[in-house]
Structure 1
């Protein structure tokens, strides 16, 4: 069976597992990991290895770029301190902590190799967070912090990983050079992503063919990632900045058909890549175990328990002080951003699941560099095994218990309150959009008194919007979810219809810029406007 046929088989496995687990409360992506582990021991199941090059050059840019579409830049900006402390400070802290533990516990592992291990398993995986968020209502601030961390921590970890590999290969390391290179990479990738985002955004606003828009959209993460990666950077930060610029500066100016196509295609791409990555993690269980048969089981268990415990406990050690110390030390910070409930740092600490990116990094360690008194492969095999253990332990232990833990702590109720508030804001924004459309119709009605046909269309539209506004007012009072199923049934002239859509869109964007509605509410209502336009024009 060739590689293409193997991946077709993997997609079939994902569909099959998804059908079986539709009604299971656990996130499907985590169950796919379990399915992969089980399939890895099926005698006739073809062996599938996780190709690091495939993950880094294809999966990672696409997944990161797809995630930026659902990330609010104003929210990230407001939570920039927490996100920076996690995506940079936490990654460095865990790297050092794991390196110390590995050097003390594992015989034959040098300091550079210990730092390689630490950098590999230091970043939590945003893909795992998204899988959990599909089943659980996170409070928006927790989700924003975890999403922002997941978008940016891979850049920090991959840079540290590269520095550690260089130290292993050359037996030389300069802290000053590493720090200067680190910040140079961050600045250069940010500038590159900013310029590329504006350039591609301008091009896409001039493309009037949805298919060409979609093609350029798919190429965009690679245009951001590959040049930065080839020049010695991580490439991840360039993708993040490019995606955020396009999403928040240009997306509302794209053609409605392009936005609808973009949304549906990228959701499919994201789900498919996430599922394949989780499945490949599980399928690597057998090959991982086969590479460490010469190492005593008791030693392997000791190593894996210690490293996993350090990773989980280390996150708590970092998160709680970083959540409260800045406010305690600087009253101005506390005044602007009051201390969060104690449950928030707890959930953020427990949500540190690792994923396929870490395993790909471990598999990318060159064979030639692993040399010790026991041979060339022992230490490399141990590193891969430990990374695999941390991934599985955090995904299954933390991932499967996180929904239950949020219910016990009452965090899910906090998320539900926010969802209810978003629902009311969504209805209110919808009513404001209807008011704006009515005002435009009243003004336009005065200018077409001599055009009976158009005048009749305007009258019908006024009646429809008056009915809609009345329904919205009632729904706001009753907080009724039934409005989500309402569909416009209108047939105005093309000019009137497109003008109304534009008026509502401008009002919606004004409400979002004034921070009267959330990013999520803005996206939902913009999608509804796009669907109306598509229904009419199609």
Structure 2
């Protein structure tokens, strides 16, 4: 396919994405499911050229920015608080699934070498960050469950790809050392974190020195790819490097990025991530044709692989339930023993975590990257594709219904108690009023800005009056000129203090910060800048 033909195909896919998104909305389906089905249908359109997804290119193009996007918005305080639970999923669940899938596959197909069986397990074990984000952002879950799933989806690719690397090497050479695997995994992860910290530090310093909004946005986005590529070139984890940078930028952006840049950057980032996520799922669907061509057609897929593929898919689904219920039960027993209370297992949260195991582009790319000489490559390729289809189309489509059935939105006990939106605004408006009051009089005590003092005093009184209300009254918050910018700065400082002291969660921080950004942009525009 020529470069011009490739560009035309991309344009055609973007048009198809618009139509598929509208269909998904019309029939209330997860867009990821509609895009995969639509891509699969497009793959067999007469006259449309076959699309061969380059696995290395797919990972480099799609994975870094989407990993960074998830890390940028991660609830940092909750991430630290639930780090043990995230690691149990990102490393423990992936390893357990790899071993169980490999063992069961070898029982069914004893002629397939152990290394190939475990390579299959490593390929299908890690839930995909892109698929998880595409599904989870459209459902409402308690904060703890959401942080666990989002944290897992960002970090488990590292463990899955490392296990994949060692399993393939063992299958080709017949040699494997568990000690070497653990040591190398630790070095890969630590090395990736170090690369992310170094590049992140340099990027944040450069962002501080820039003033042009477009340069700041580009400078903040490019390190996602730079971290991934640099880490992979140094033979450490590109996933860990990118996630580390994304978390650093998300933490420091409140201090180093202006309101104008943040507003424009968020708009640009949303469009970019939407296009990349959508193209990922369409390409997964389009790759069905190539998979079938590689194995000799759909007839061979059904006649030779159907029983074994069905078994592996079942093991993939069941293994996650086993691991999550086992680890959650042990955690509940330990908590019961330490607190000397009644045993309480949050079985509803365990069910949701077990069902939220969507696979995606990482699984497909790893399967496509298998050496052609590897025994059982066709079987592994078909199985990987079926696992993606089942988890995205069935789990991704039904998880919203399951959450509603289990009434998960009301089951948020035991989480850290944060301030409500009215309580936050009461504190912010009080800080803004203090800033205006200090600047409303001249050195002789003469009132220079009675209207501003009255306006901010009124807003502070109204916010304080409604601090315990379920919702804030509709109120137009307009701002202008220098004194209002000082008030906004005071409000922003109060907002960050609330967040740093764990009184404010990340979701509320971003929402209130967006309001302050809009006030600041309006003030700067009114001032004539």
| Fold match (TM-score > 0.5) | yes
Pick which of 394-403 and 288-297 moved more.
288-297
What does residue 393 of structure 2 align with?
Answer: 396
Equivalent runs, 1:34-113 vs 2, <5 Å: 34-106=37-109, 108-113=111-116
Pick which of 318-327 and 351-360 moved more.
318-327
Q: Is the 8 A contact 2:207 2:256 kept in 1?
A: no
Shift of 1:55: 1.5
What does residue 422 of structure 2 align with?
Answer: 427
Please, which of 439, 463, 480 is the counterpart of residue 472 of structure 1?
463
Deviations 1:128-186 (A, max 9, x none): 22222333211111110000000000011111111122223333222221111111112
1:531 aligns with 2:518: yes
What does residue 26 of structure 1 align with?
Answer: 29
Shift of 1:465: 2.1
Q: Aligned partners of 1:449 and 1:409: how far apart in 2?
A: 65
1:301 aligns with 2:306: yes
1:461 aligns with 2:458: no
Equivalent runs, 1:14-413 vs 2, <5 Å: 14-106=17-109, 108-292=111-295, 293=297, 295=300, 297-329=302-334, 341-367=346-372, 369-371=373-375, 379-413=376-410
Q: Aligned partners of 1:95 and 1:272: how far apart in 2?
A: 31
Shift of 1:307: 0.5
Q: Is the 8 A contact 2:30 2:135 kept in 1?
A: yes
Q: Is the 8 A contact 1:198 1:246 kept in 2?
A: no
Q: Aligned partners of 2:353 and 2:360: how far apart in 1?
A: 16
What does residue 443 of structure 1 align with?
Answer: 438
How many pairs does the alignment contain? Answer: 519
Gaps of 5+ in 2: none
Shift of 1:340: 5.6
What does residue 490 of structure 1 align with?
Answer: 479
Shift of 1:296: 6.2
Secondary structure of the structure 2 residue equivalent to 1:284 = helix
Shift of 1:475: 4.9
Q: What TM-score comes out, normalization by structure 2 length?
A: 0.92
Q: Aligned partners of 1:251 and 1:204: how far apart in 2?
A: 12
Shift of 1:447: 3.3
Gaps of 5+ in 1: 372-378
Q: Aligned partners of 2:385 and 2:470: how far apart in 1?
A: 47
Q: Is the 8 A contact 2:142 2:408 kept in 1?
A: yes
Cα RMSD (Å): 2.5
Secondary structure of the structure 1 residue equivalent to 2:512 = helix
Shift of 1:480: 3.3
Q: Is the 8 A contact 1:29 1:275 kept in 2?
A: yes
Q: Aligned partners of 2:466 and 2:21: how far apart in 1?
A: 35
Pick closer, same or farther for the CA change 1:231–1:490 going to 2, 3 Å. Answer: closer
1:521 aligns with 2:508: yes
Secondary structure of the structure 2 residue equivalent to 1:21 = helix
Q: Aligned partners of 1:177 and 1:502: how far apart in 2?
A: 53
Pick closer, same or farther for the CA change 1:51–1:312 going to 2, 3 Å. Answer: same
Q: Aligned partners of 1:417 and 1:159: how far apart in 2?
A: 35
Pick which of 218-227 and 79-88 moved more.
218-227
Q: Aligned partners of 1:405 and 1:348: how far apart in 2?
A: 11
Q: Aligned partners of 2:97 and 2:385: how far apart in 1?
A: 17
Pick which of 124-133 and 78-87 moved more.
124-133
Shift of 1:334: 6.1
Shift of 1:280: 1.1
Shift of 1:126: 2.5
What does residue 5 of structure 1 align with?
Answer: 8
What does residue 490 of structure 2 align with?
Answer: 503
Secondary structure of the structure 2 residue equivalent to 1:190 = helix
Secondary structure of the structure 1 residue equivalent to 2:503 = coil
Secondary structure of the structure 1 residue equivalent to 2:370 = coil
